A = this chain, B = another copy of it.
Amino acid sequence: MLIATPQSLHFEAPLPLQSGTSIRAYDLAFETYGTLNANKTNAVLICHALNASHHVAGVYADQAKSEGWWDSMIGPGKPVDTNRFFVIGVNNLGSCFGSTGPMHINPDSAQGQVYGADFPVVTVEDWVDAQARLLDRLGIETLAAVMGGSLGGMQALAWTLQYPSRVRRAVVVASAPNLTAENIAFNEVARRAITTDPDFHGGHFYRHGVVPKRGLRIARMIGHITYLSDDVMNAKFGRQLRHAVQDAVASADYRYSTQEVEFQIESYLRYQGDKFADYFDANTYLLITRALDYFDPARTFGGSLTKALAAARSKFLLISFVTDWRFAPARSREIVKALLDNQRDVSYAEIDAPHGHDAFLLDDVRYHSVVRSYLESLAQEVGV
């Protein structure tokens, strides 16, 4: 069993941000698994999505059920084999899991208050810059691979554009070259649920001793629905009544209530919402969904993704899931096409998994075998 140990590094030099401002000084939380080889060719950077962290793989020594969020993918003998690769998980700026974020002291605050809503807007490109500095400190010039799903895939793609010579291969899973209007819309509803919660206080709820839990719950419930497929929700919950499940009876009558839980799916969503509201930071939610909204490499190239990806030098593996309706296969294919337009080396797999967007986190044998063989060939390429 892989034992994970969180680490942290402090960065004194300000980080310039896309918005024109900068972060004065900051910490990055990270974890590493496996061993960096002598010529430092076997580093794999894992980028996280919305509500994940640097704790990518393994468990904490003294903590039950503490598996990292991509533990099925990464570890000894797993598709990303930590016996061969040196894997780095890093928590992004603005997050609430250890790296500098809205809950930390704002060095510009005379009263020593936390950032809250004053934490600067960070983008995918800013995160990549911060990750590059972390690699500098770890003495790693070139990544064997950068890898991520969803928003993490956007970071992997951005790496190949901002630091083309530092990335050998990029693995971009269940991602997109930008968000559609519908995806921005779902993010916006979630944000409005948070910002219109009376406990939000314009993002400075910390000093009021409250948390906008109502809004966080709604945001999480919306997210949860859209990360699953209709089919998997029907298979898992269907129209099952909550009290039929509780009483272990085959059928039960409706209880006819507008406010109480009637269906099992309602109970599940409320539970997920409650759990999320207990640990996630509201300002982080806003920051991370905005990073998703803003990502759009084609934007400064007149909308041409082909032109935008001309800078890339890496090899690519793109993976999408047939039932993923938030980051649909068509969006991955746009990236594949733009890379092929630039004569890049691209592999693409479209996996017929039933789990919607969540599939990228799950253990599907076809999905894992695609990643495994891609990483096998990478291991040979870098001699590990």
A-side interface residues toward B, CB under 8 Å? 18-20, 117, 120-121, 178-182, 184-186, 188-189, 191-193, 195-198, 202-203, 214, 217-218, 221-222, 225, 228, 230, 233-234, 236-239, 254, 256-259, 262-263, 265-266, 269-270, 273, 283, 286-287, 290, 293-294, 296, 299, 325
Contacts and interface: CB of A to CB of B under 8 A. Distances in A.
B217 A196 contact: yes
Given A120-B256, A218-B218, A239-B296, 20 more contacts: A121-B257, A180-B230, A181-B234, A181-B238, A181-B239, A182-B228, A182-B230, A182-B233, A185-B233, A185-B265, A185-B269, A189-B218, A189-B269, A191-B259, A192-B273, A193-B193, A195-B259, A222-B222, A239-B299, A256-B294
Oligomeric state, in copies: 2
Contacts of A239: 178-179, 181, 184, 296, 299
A107 B73 CA distance: 63
B294 A225 contact: no
A218 B203 contact: no
6 contacts: A181-B239, A189-B218, A189-B221, A192-B273, A202-B259, A203-B258
Contacts of A287: 258
A273 B195 CA distance: 14
Contact of A225 (B189, B234, B236): B189
Interface centre among A178, A182, A186, A230 (most CB of B within 10 A): A182
Given A182-B233, A259-B203, A293-B263, A269 B188 contact: yes
Nearest to A203: B259
A202 B260 CA distance: 11
A192 B217 contact: yes
A287 B228 CA distance: 26
Contacts of A217: 192, 196
B182 A196 contact: no
A172 B104 CA distance: 56
Given A186-B225, A218-B192, A225-B186, A286 B266 contact: no
Contacts of A233: 180-182, 185
Nearest to A182: B230
A154 to B, nearest CB: 14
A6 B294 CA distance: 49
A164 B367 CA distance: 52
Contacts of A238: 181
